[in-house]
Structure 1
Amino acid sequence: MFHDAFYMPYAPKRAWGLFDASGHPIRSAVDFRAPNVCTYDQLLEVGFASDLVAYEAAAGTYIYGGTINLHFGHFLINTLPRFWNISRIRTPNTRILCHSSSAPDVWFNFPFISRAFALLGLTKRDFVVLDRPTRLRNVVVAGTSLEEQQAGYRAYGRFGREIGSRIYKPDDVDQNTVPIYYSKSRLRSSVGIITNEAEIEDVLRDQGVDIIHPETLSLDEQVRLMSSRTSIMGSTGSFFHTSIFCPPRRITCLNVTSQINSNYVIIDALAANAATYHYPDSMQVLDQMDGYLTARFLPNAADVALELFDLARSKS
């Protein structure tokens, strides 16, 4: 717990975050994706102490809930890991103090966010975002249970399974042997896309694989589906992070880069997944397209689909 700390509201390219009484950043309240690289556009030097902050928050102890990320994957990587022990440290009247460019009313319009917080017994009334530098008499900062691109802690694995157990029933696990393939072909914006992924879908569909577009499913539906299938395939995407809520999964992923993103490795370790990442040498990088950070093309998409299917079948 920190006493006489202060809060600087979210402000890109300016100092924001939580600071102790002397004006030093509370590092356990900062998200890093490398030892000294902040995840967000965040400056950590304010140059003054708490006694120069005029406004003071209402009396009471706050719990710091970190920065609210509205992207599905980054919500599971950056935001939710800060709530790993919320049920143990929070009392019914304790407010959760967060940073965001928007208000809780906006966050709770995202169904996966409102559902995830509901599973923790939280509503938008439990959260507060401040709009000015504010002194805090007492603030509890629980360190995150996952550090983006760096490390994950077993607490997040346990936490994820606890949440998942409220969604699926043990009898539902591995009840369907029909393989599934998660596709991004219907997305109009994303981090990356395979422009001819529909060709992969066609081949896999002919092999008896169910094609899934995860953006059409609720969080509960995603967790139940992933928990129920014995063989899971897909092109790289944030939907694989949903496995943190599931029993250990067998995953065969079509990787769009030769390097495996370390966030996937971390989630696989915490969820005890048996995961294979397949990168075809034929993968071509295209010029950037509107709505996507990266674009790829597979000239031999049908062959790659069969390779992926064979890899998945060999793990069954």
Structure 2
Amino acid sequence: MDDVQDYASFYSPVAGVSLFSEPDILTFRNAFYICGWNNFDHLHGVYTQEGYLIPQAAFHCQWPPVNKGQRPWCDPNIARGLPVIKSGIFVGHMHEQYGHFITEFVSRLWVARKLWDGSQKLIVRSIKSRDDLFRAPWLRALIEAAGFREEDFYFPETSFTVEKLVVASPLFSEDSVCFAGMADYCNEIGAVLTPPELNSEAPRRIYLTRSKLICGTVRIDNEHEFEEALSERGFEIVHPQDLSVADQIALFRNDNFVVGQIGSAFHTSIFVPSPQGICLRSKVFKGGGTPPALSYRLMDQVNGAAFEYLDFPTLIESEHPNGHFYENMTIGDIGLAADLLADRAAKRETSFHLSNMGRGSCVEEADLTAYELIGHSGSAVGSDRRTAMASTYSGATIEKLLLITRRDPANRQRAFLVSAHPDAPALMLSNTWRQGPALPVQVEHLDDGTIAMRSHENNAYIFACHDRRGQGLHAEGPQIMAWERFGIAETSLHLRHRGSRLHALLSLIAIVHYGASPRNLAYYQARYPDLLAHVSGLDPAFRV
């Protein structure tokens, strides 16, 4: 950040649109629905009794948003002879294509969970029959996980009028906006299908391949050979279409690192909080990969995701095109491409990355490093989750204490003590008043490889003093003696539980005090207001 005084403008509450507010829910009297056929968007529409297209029930694309061909006005006189139903809730387009089902149907279904009492018709816009749609196991699984049954939905076969129609703004609008409620709602559905507590194995590297597809957008003709190269580098090769929707969701849990071509498979990530990985751009665009659709990044910024959008390494046009695909490509150097992805995955596994930072950018690596602390007696420094006291005690409620500072050796003096527990519990030092999830300290690096720490509150050195249980940490030392010396051991900041409070705490330290981008601070302001208040309330002189 260039100027500390400008920081407040990034996190002060402001009036106006917030992606973390709830979209509008509107009620219309005597609205009418024009039924259509086939895949012509302009033949479907929900209109007010005056004949105006209801924007919240319309479908838009691109940026700036444009109507997908639906007529903005329809003669209301045609509604006079239509059948009438008493009340209904419009729940969007139940699409047979997986990605569009999520973006055009799930994004509107949320209002039914909120308001439906069983008496209103849940009005579905569809170009397929109920029977055709519910033959898809993934669609049925998602509907049931959301708490609905096939027979709950009304598939109009004729146009009609609704005496009282409820229409909610969608939680997601293609390439335009994504409300945080989309992540919340989809996370809940995902938790029903794949309970998070069932995932305990070590994180995996996963490559989502398309090599079995017989038609589609992009075909890579030597993807089988690429799979073999990635397998040799620790990747698990997965064909998403062979898995149930529950198993596909589980791929993004457990801090797995998921790599694959941009496409509908990555829409699945919205069902899991804070997923991570690499989305490969494989379509040709001005000599490089096609820029990712804004839709993916919109979902990322409200879901705490950490995806990078990269050109597919060494990808060139294929000399043997297959007419069943829009584009045909080949990997020019399989070994190099596999090495580049493996190296990138390894770097991500050993460093700390903030979540995606909004519409214009993606993952940002934070200038953070972490150390475990060792007291002069050789005991590890920790903190008690019950009392918040830092010490070298041992026991079931003692959690490892971390010293968080910058990587740059010239800027390691300003640091923070935090608990390594995912919940980021409060800490305190004896002889100080300050309590909180992060305690600022000044670090002095000593000639023997140890460090000394001064409390930023009272400028006293911190030492480990013997008591009956071990050594409690006190901030009252006037000089550096044996007990004021601490050993340090660098540790990885690639955290399990990327969606945890600890990850948010470290992200806020990086943003507020170490110069990381504040572009998506609204995410932390909405999700972790107490952590933001604590971190931003620390002494401004302590910042970069």
**What's the TM-score once normalised by structure 2's chain length?**
0.55
How many Å separate the matches in 2 of 1:174 and 1:315?
20
Report if aligned partners of 2:123, 2:155 keep a CA contact under 8 Å in 1.
Answer: yes
Equivalent position to 2:138, from 109, 112, 115: 112
Q: Which has the higher helix share?
A: 1
Aligned 1:295-314 pairs, distance under 5 A: 295-314=328-347
Higher mean displacement: 185-194 or 154-163: 185-194
Counterpart for residue 201 of structure 1: 227
Counterpart for residue 56 of structure 1: 83
Report if aligned partners of 1:181, 1:212 keep a CA contact under 8 Å in 2.
Answer: yes
Report if aligned partners of 1:179, 1:229 keep a CA contact under 8 Å in 2.
Answer: no
Cα pair distance change 1:161/1:281, threshold 3 Å: closer
Cα pair distance change 1:280/1:170, threshold 3 Å: closer
Alignment-mate amino acid for residue 57 of structure 1: V
3-state SS of 1:140 partner: strand
Higher mean displacement: 10-19 or 217-226: 10-19
Equivalent position to 2:164, from 138, 141, 153: 138
3-state SS of 2:123 partner: strand
Counterpart for residue 271 of structure 2: 245
Cα shift at 1:167: 2.2
Counterpart for residue 37 of structure 1: 66
Aligned 1:1-316 pairs, distance under 5 A: 1-11=27-37, 12=40, 14-34=42-62, 35-39=64-68, 42-50=69-77, 52-58=79-85, 60-173=86-199, 175-256=201-282, 257-280=289-312, 282-286=314-318, 289-316=322-349
What are the ranges of 5 or more consecutive residues in structure 1 without an aligned counterpart?
A: none
Cα shift at 1:169: 2.8
**Residue by residue, what CA displacement relative to the aligned partner does 1:195-234 show, whole Å, maximum 9, x if unpaired?**
2222221101111211000001111111123213532212
3-state SS of 1:101 partner: coil
Cα pair distance change 1:270/1:194, threshold 3 Å: farther
How many Å separate the matches in 2 of 1:53 and 1:218?
46
Cα pair distance change 1:102/1:13, threshold 3 Å: closer
Cα pair distance change 1:56/1:195, threshold 3 Å: same
**What's the TM-score once normalised by structure 1's chain length?**
0.91
Cα shift at 1:120: 1.7
How many Å separate the matches in 2 of 1:130 and 1:213?
36
Alignment-mate amino acid for residue 183 of structure 1: T
3-state SS of 1:85 partner: helix
The structure with more radius of gyration: 2
Higher mean displacement: 178-187 or 28-37: 28-37
Report if aligned partners of 2:221, 2:329 keep a CA contact under 8 Å in 1.
Answer: yes
**Residue by residue, what CA displacement relative to the aligned partner does 1:143-197 show, whole Å, maximum 9, x if unpaired?**
1001111221101011111112212233344623331111111111223232222
Cα pair distance change 1:154/1:62, threshold 3 Å: same
3-state SS of 1:185 partner: coil
How many Å separate the matches in 1 of 2:313 and 2:230?
20
3-state SS of 2:253 partner: helix
Alignment-mate amino acid for residue 21 of structure 1: Q
How many Å separate the matches in 2 of 1:288 and 1:89?
51
How many Å separate the matches in 2 of 1:14 and 1:260?
27
Report if aligned partners of 1:98, 1:129 keep a CA contact under 8 Å in 2.
Answer: yes
How many Å separate the matches in 2 of 1:217 and 1:51?
47
Higher mean displacement: 24-33 or 66-75: 66-75
Alignment-mate amino acid for residue 344 of structure 2: L
Cα pair distance change 1:285/1:300, threshold 3 Å: same
3-state SS of 1:240 partner: helix
How many Å separate the matches in 2 of 1:296 and 1:138?
52
Report if aligned partners of 2:257, 2:277 keep a CA contact under 8 Å in 1.
Answer: yes
Cα pair distance change 1:47/1:95, threshold 3 Å: closer
What are the ranges of 5 or more consecutive residues in structure 2 without an aligned counterpart?
A: 1-26, 283-288, 350-544
Alignment-mate amino acid for residue 229 of structure 2: V
Report if aligned partners of 2:204, 2:257 keep a CA contact under 8 Å in 1.
Answer: yes
Q: Which has the higher strand share?
A: 2
How many Å separate the matches in 1 of 2:42 and 2:270?
34
More relative contact order, 1 or 2 (CA 8 Å, 6+ apart): 1
Higher mean displacement: 244-253 or 10-19: 10-19
Alignment-mate amino acid for residue 74 of structure 1: H
3-state SS of 2:192 partner: coil
How many Å separate the matches in 2 of 1:285 and 1:233?
21
Counterpart for residue 421 of structure 2: none
Cα shift at 1:301: 2.7
Alignment-mate amino acid for residue 185 of structure 1: S
